[in-house]
Structures are given as structure tokens and as C-alpha cells.
């Protein structure tokens, strides 16, 4: 071992939801862990999801009963350990004449869904007649409407925060977190993993580790990570692209979430109340280009707008109504033939022991089932290490923001500059950890004010996230810590003031701050829907 090398039990590559969950579980069970990502936390597939914690009703069509059962169990666990982030969501399925899925098929599916969710706290499904759904949702297409079915799942408004809290829990349990650290080599000696090298993508600094195990949880980049071993592996990932659009409340908008069958191709998609806006998606298209360059195409945006306008005819949405759009790659197992929707959403924990011992790759998985995937992965790591690990306890160990909410509310209420809506916002994002923002404001009176007229964005928040939540860029702060990047205006009115505060906290010079602002503006612009002409300021 060189003087520059450090040892660890497990190196986890990829700080999306799967990597974060694995790092947390492994650290809680006493393993020494280093988590790497070539960018920030939750900057790939996990952030580009539909933000649902759901059983996967559609998976019943493909006979994936065990996946639905697993998902429904995991939904219950996430409601327990992250109640501040994961909330119940009532979803309606409208039933029209001529649809591929008629009332009998939908009802049978929901009965099965209820049975698989037996003894879970959310209500069972309910069938609504035509008159009842018309009364509840007058903006819904009336022609050929036969009725509707309503059921419950759950929503995580900020998937980014779910990832972050898993990372913070891993760090609290002893894990080392290295963001903006690209793994450039995985050394092999005697047929097993011997070393790992990485380079900081912001500073150029290099580091070397000697892990006993490496878990490749890089999502769409799994095959790229395998390439740095210098060995030959068959391709594992056959990703599909999913795109979403975000719009404000529109004429005739639904009161509740809707799960709708598209007329053009029969594929189900969601129209979801989300973050004070509406999130519409997703598409499902094979994709074999660079995952870093994925964007929602004009055709996808038009498809989602057209189908929404069909189901809610008064909406009359156009591309100019789209605040922003996002796209991601589902890291599904490679499958060359058949419809994209039929590719399994089950996860695969691939051991490469025939080529390299001590190396695992994660293929597939869902936001909902990350905790169980992590448990299974750490069980395999323990077996490969020949160690008897403690039992997994992530199913009932509350995430960092999940406790102390009332104490946090009291602490925030003592901040005279903060509005009631601002208190609610901070609790929704940080949970009980929001008390730390109040503590910063108390300790540093110069940060006791707010940066916005609505008094919802305290200056102390920027200092808190920089000190406690591992951001390294303005994009990290705006989009994956404060979450204002997901507002209708993408937080644009506040960029300059946030940059000024971040400069003081990080010790940046003026050139670095200007570069950060340009990068933030460019990133926000990249999320604009193609063809949009009106840009909020």
C-alpha cells in the first residue's frame, strides 16, 4: 500500500438513490464505506423520475407480481422512515369507451393491488360511476367517459432530498462521501479488485483507495465504469428514456393525480399535482446515446401536451406553457426486442466473480425499492467478505429529517423575518433538520433576514446547506438542496443573491462566482422545453 492509498471495505460508485441506499446500509452495519460520484448527488436517473413511491400497478400487466408486492412493502417502510418527504397520493384512472384497458381489467388489477397491499395503512381502491367522476372532475373529457377508478400510492416531491438524507445518514454512520470524484481506474490483482483511483473533476486532485469490494451503482453509466477495469464485460444496460414536462395549474385541471392511457400508443402516463405545479409524464423510448446529453425532445413534449389536452380539453396547453422539461435514462437490463414497457423493472445485483472477484454491478431498480435493493446488496457483500454482518435496520431507522419536526417548527417560528409559508417550505424540504437553519440565523445575526419578498428563503439557509449538506456548486445549492430550481421560475430572481452568500461561505473569488452563475444559468436554460419562447425572469 502506498502512502497515498487508503483502505476501505466497500467502494460504492454512483450517488443516486441506489448508491446512497447501499452506502447507508453498509455503514450502519459497520462496514467502512466510501461513496463516489463524478457529479453531485442525485444528478442522473433518480432526479429525472416521476417522483412516485408506488407499487407499480402497470407491472401487474406483465405478471411481475413479486415486484409489485415488494414495492408495496417498501412504500410502507418509506412512509415510516421518511414521513416528511413521502406523502400519500390519491390517483384516478379515467375509463373511456374504446380504451385498451376497460373497467373489468382495471378493477381486477386494483383488486390484485389491494390484496398485495393487504394490511397496509392506505385506503383501498374505489370505482366511480360516470356521474360521480364528472362531478368530482368537471374538466375531464366528457365524451365516451364511462367512469373511473381511484386508488392510493405515495409521492416524494423532492427525490433529491431522499437521496441526500440517505447520504447524510451514511456519513453519520462513518461513510466518506466524495462527490465530483470520477473513478478513473479499478485495478485488479490475482483475479480480484485491488485498487480504485479517482480524480476530482473540479480541482483535478487524484486519490487512490484499496477497497475489498466495489459496488458499481452508476445507473446508465454502469457499462462505462466496467470499462475502467481494463477487462471485457458484456453490456449490461439497455436504457430507455423517460421525459417529463412541468406546467402551472391549467384551465380544467384535476383536483387529484391522474393515471391516463394515451390514445396515440396506449401507454399509461401521469398528470400529477406536484410542487404547486403539474408534473406530466413519462415517455419510454430506447436510448443508446450519452446519458449526460439526454434531453426531452420536441416530439416528446408535443406528445405529452397533446395527450393532456385530449383528456382535459379546456387546458389548451402549448409549449409556451411548459416551464421546463427533464429527461433521464432508466438503467434497465439490455433487451433488444419487444416493447420498452415490457422490459422488467426488477433490479439485478450482478456479481462479476467469474472475471473479477469483489466487483458487483447494479442493473435496474426503482426509486420505491432502493432500500430493499441495498439490503440485498449488503447481504451479498457480507457473504463475499466472509463476515457475519449485523441485521439490516434501514426499514425502521428514521432518516435524519424524519424526527424533531415539532421542535423544528418552534425554532423556525422564532425567526421574525420568516413567513408562515416559509416555515412550511423549510419543513417540507428539510424536515426536523430545518432547526439547524434557525440555529444558524441565531448564531449569525447578519444572516437573520430573507432573500425574497415573500420571506420564504432565509439567508441562513444557504450557510446551512453549505456547512451541512455537501454542495460544491451553485447548481447543487439551487437544484438539489434548496429545491427552488424546481419552481416555475427555476429560482432565477434569486441567483445573484444566493451566489453572493455562497461566495462568502465558500471563500470564492469574483471569477469563480461569475463562472458559477454562468453555469447555473446555462443549466437552467438547458431544461427549457424545445421551442419555448417565453423565459421567466
Q: Which CATH number is 417's domain given? A: 1.10.8
**What's the rounded Cα separation, in Å, for the pair 279 and 275?**
9
**What's the rounded Cα separation, in Å, for the pair 286 and 242?**
9
486 near 321, Cβ under 8 Å?
A: no
Fill in the DSSP letter of residue 497: H
Catalogue the E-assigned strands of 27-124.
33-36, 52-53, 86-96
- Surface-to-core class of residue 62, CB atoms within 10 Å of its CB (0-12 exposed, 13-18 middle, 19+ buried): middle
Among the listed residues 191, 162, 153, 156, the one whose alpha carbon sits nearest the alpha carbon of residue 59 = 153
Same domain, 170 and 230: yes
Same domain, 513 and 434: yes
Residue 50 included in any domain: no
Residue 74 included in any domain: no
Exposed e or buried b per residue across 362-400, where buried means at least 16 C-beta atoms within 10 angstroms of its C-beta? bbbbbbbbbbbbbbbbbbebbebeeeebeebebeeebbb
Residue 321 included in any domain: yes
Which residues, at least 6 apart from 129, have a Cβ–Cβ distance to it below 8 Å? Answer: 147
pLDDT given for residue 333 in this prediction: 87
pLDDT given for residue 58 in this prediction: 80
pLDDT given for residue 480 in this prediction: 98
**What's the rounded Cα separation, in Å, for the pair 107 and 70?**
21
- Element (H or E) spanning 324, and its range? strand 322-330
- Surface-to-core class of residue 4, CB atoms within 10 Å of its CB (0-12 exposed, 13-18 middle, 19+ buried): exposed
* CATH value at residue 185: 3.50.50.60
**What's the rounded Cα separation, in Å, for the pair 341 and 356?**
32
267, 296, 331: which is the final residue of a domain?
331
Residue 57 included in any domain: no
How is residue 511 written as a grid cell?
Answer: 471569477
- What pairing do the DSSP bridges indicate for beta strands 206-216 and 192-200? antiparallel
Same domain, 148 and 226: no
**What's the rounded Cα separation, in Å, for the pair 378 and 390?**
10
Same domain, 412 and 486: yes
Domain count, the chain: 3
pLDDT given for residue 387 in this prediction: 96
28 near 222, Cβ under 8 Å?
A: no
Residue 73 included in any domain: no
Q: Is the four-CA dihedral 162, 372, 69, 400 of positive or negative sign?
A: negative
Among the listed residues 242, 264, 235, 266, the one whose alpha carbon sits nearest the alpha carbon of residue 336 = 235
Same domain, 270 and 281: yes
Residue 59 included in any domain: no
- What pairing do the DSSP bridges indicate for beta strands 86-96 and 257-261? parallel
Residue 78 included in any domain: no
Which residues, at least 6 apart from 445, have a Cβ–Cβ distance to it below 8 Å? Answer: none
Among the listed residues 470, 377, 382, 427, the one whose alpha carbon sits nearest the alpha carbon of residue 163 = 470
Give the SS3 label for residue 325.
strand
> pLDDT truncated to tens, each residue of the chain (537 aa)?
444 789 999 999 999 999 999 999 999 999 999 999 999 999 999 999 999 999 888 888 778 899 999 999 999 999 999 999 999 999 999 999 987 777 888 888 898 888 888 776 788 999 999 999 999 999 999 999 999 999 999 999 999 999 999 999 999 999 999 999 999 999 999 999 999 999 999 999 999 999 999 999 999 999 999 999 999 999 999 889 999 999 999 999 999 999 999 998 888 999 999 999 999 999 999 898 999 999 999 999 999 999 999 999 999 999 999 999 999 999 998 765 556 555 666 899 999 999 999 999 999 989 999 999 999 999 999 999 999 999 999 999 999 999 999 999 999 999 999 999 999 999 999 999 999 999 999 999 999 999 999 999 999 999 999 999 999 999 999 999 999 999 999 999 999 999 999 999 999 999 999 999 999 999 999 999 865 543 333
Same domain, 519 and 434: yes
**What's the rounded Cα separation, in Å, for the pair 379 and 26?**
9
Q: How many CA atoms, within 13 angstroms, populate the side-chain half-sphere of residue 451?
A: 22
Same domain, 452 and 476: yes
**What's the rounded Cα separation, in Å, for the pair 35 and 37?**
7
- The range of the structural domain enclosing residue 103 comes to 88-152+239-331
pLDDT given for residue 341 in this prediction: 58
Residue 55 included in any domain: no
Same domain, 166 and 305: no
Number of other residues whose CB lies within 10 A of the CB of residue 517: 18
Among the listed residues 488, 536, 532, the one whose alpha carbon sits nearest the alpha carbon of residue 298 = 532
Same domain, 220 and 293: no
Same domain, 95 and 130: yes
Among the listed residues 170, 161, 124, 155, the one whose alpha carbon sits nearest the alpha carbon of residue 22 = 170
Among the listed residues 500, 402, 501, 519, the one whose alpha carbon sits nearest the alpha carbon of residue 78 = 402
Which residues, at least 6 apart from 146, have a Cβ–Cβ distance to it below 8 Å? Answer: 95, 96, 97, 103, 130
- What pairing do the DSSP bridges indicate for beta strands 5-13 and 206-216? parallel
Same domain, 243 and 233: no
**What's the rounded Cα separation, in Å, for the pair 456 and 388?**
48
Q: Nearest 5°: CA angle at 402, between 397 and 403?
A: 95
pLDDT given for residue 531 in this prediction: 52
- What pairing do the DSSP bridges indicate for beta strands 126-129 and 192-200? unpaired
331, 352, 375: which is the final residue of a domain?
331
How is residue 130 written as a grid cell?
Answer: 360516470
pTM: 0.95
* CATH value at residue 144: 3.30.9.10
pLDDT given for residue 468 in this prediction: 98
Give me the helices (H) in 260-415, please. Answer: 298-311, 370-385, 405-413
Give the SS3 label for residue 395.
coil
Q: Nearest 5°: CA angle at 255, between 251 and 257?
A: 110
Same domain, 146 and 277: yes
Q: What are the beta bridge partners of residue 128?
A: 148
Amino acid at each position: 500500500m502506498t502512502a497515498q492509498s487508503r483502505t476501505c471495505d466497500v467502494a460504492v460508485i454512483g450517488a443516486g438513490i441506489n448508491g446512497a441506499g447501499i452506502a447507508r446500509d453498509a455503514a450502519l452495519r459497520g462496514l467502512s464505506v466510501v461513496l463516489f460520484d463524478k457529479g453531485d448527488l442525485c444528478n442522473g436517473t433518480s432526479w429525472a423520475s416521476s417522483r412516485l413511491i408506488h407499487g407499480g400497478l402497470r407491472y401487474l400487466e406483465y405478471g411481475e407480481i413479486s415486484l409489485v408486492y415488494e414495492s408495496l412493502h417498501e412504500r410502507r417502510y418509506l412512509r415510516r422512515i421518511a414521513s416528511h418527504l413521502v406523502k400519500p397520493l390519491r390517483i384516478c384512472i379515467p375509463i373511456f369507451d374504446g380504451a385498451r384497458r376497460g373497467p373489468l381489467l382495471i378493477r381486477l388489477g386494483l383488486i390484485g393491488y389491494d390484496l398485495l397491499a393487504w394490511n397496509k395503512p392506505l385506503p383501498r381502491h374505489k370505482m366511480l360511476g360516470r356521474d360521480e367522476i364528472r362531478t368530482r372532475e368537471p374538466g375531464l373529457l366528457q365524451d365516451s367517459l364511462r367512469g373511473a377508478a381511484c386508488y392510493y400510492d405515495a409521492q416524494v416531491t423532492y427525490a433529491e432530498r431522499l437521496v441526500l438524507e440517505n447520504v447524510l445518514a451514511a456519513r453519520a454512520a462513518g461513510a466518506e462521501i466524495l462527490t465530483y470524484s470520477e473513478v478513473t481506474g479499478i485495478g485488479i490483482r490475482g483475479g480480484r479488485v485491488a485498487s480504485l483511483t479517482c480524480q476530482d473533476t473540479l480541482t483535478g486532485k487524484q486519490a487512490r483507495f484499496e477497497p475489498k469490494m466495489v459496488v458499481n451503482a452508476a445507473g446508465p453509466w454502469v457499462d462505462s465504469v466496467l470499462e475502467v477495469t481494463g477487462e471485457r464485460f458484456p453490456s449490461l444496460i439497455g436504457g430507455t428514456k423517460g421525459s417529463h414536462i412541468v406546467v402551472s395549474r391549467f384551465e380544467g385541471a384535476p383536483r387529484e393525480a391522474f393515471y391516463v392511457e394515451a390514445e396515440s400508443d396506449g401507454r399509461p402516463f401521469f398528470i400529477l399535482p406536484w410542487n404547486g405545479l403539474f408534473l406530466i409524464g413519462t415517455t419510454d423510448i430506447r436510448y443508446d446515446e450519452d446519458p449526460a446529453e439526454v434531453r426531452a425532445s420536441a416530439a416528446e413534449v408535443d406528445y405529452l401536451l397533446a395527450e393532456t389536452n385530449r383528456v382535459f380539453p379546456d387546458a389548451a396547453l402549448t409549449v409556451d406553457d411548459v416551464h421546463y422539461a427533464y429527461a433521464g435514462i432508466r438503467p434497465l437490463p439490455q433487451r433488444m426486442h419487444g416493447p420498452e414497457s415490457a422490459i422488467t423493472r426488477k433490479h439485478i445485483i450482478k456479481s462479476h466473480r467469474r472475471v473479477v472477484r469483489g466487483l458487483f454491478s447494479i442493473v435496474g431498480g426503482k426509486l420505491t425499492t432502493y432500500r430493499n435493493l441495498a439490503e440485498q446488496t449488503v447481504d451479498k457483500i457480507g457473504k463475499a467478505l466472509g463476515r457475519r454482518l449485523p441485521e439490516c435496520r434501514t426499514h425502521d431507522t428514521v432518516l435524519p429529517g424524519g424526527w424533531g419536526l415539532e421542535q423544528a417548527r418552534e425554532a423556525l417560528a422564532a425567526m421574525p423575518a420568516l413567513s408562515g409559508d416559509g416555515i412550511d417550505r423549510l419543513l417540507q424540504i428539510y424536515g426536523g433538520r430545518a432547526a439547524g437553519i434557525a440555529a444558524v440565523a441565531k448564531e449569525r445575526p447578519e444572516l437573520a433576514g430573507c432573500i425574497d419578498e415573500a420571506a420564504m428563503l432565509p439567508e441562513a439557509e444557504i450557510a446551512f446547506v453549505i456547512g451541512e449538506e455537501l454542495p460544491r456548486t451553485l447548481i447543487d445549492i439551487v437544484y438539489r438542496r434548496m429545491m427552488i430550481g424546481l419552481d416555475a421560475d427555476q429560482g432565477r430572481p434569486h441567483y445573484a443573491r444566493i451566489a453572493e452568500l455562497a461566495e462568502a461561505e465558500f471563500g470564492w473569488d469574483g471569477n469563480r462566482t461569475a463562472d458559477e452563475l454562468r453555469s447555473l444559468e446555462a443549466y437552467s436554460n438547458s431544461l427549457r422545453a424545445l421551442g419555448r419562447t417565453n423565459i421567466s425572469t
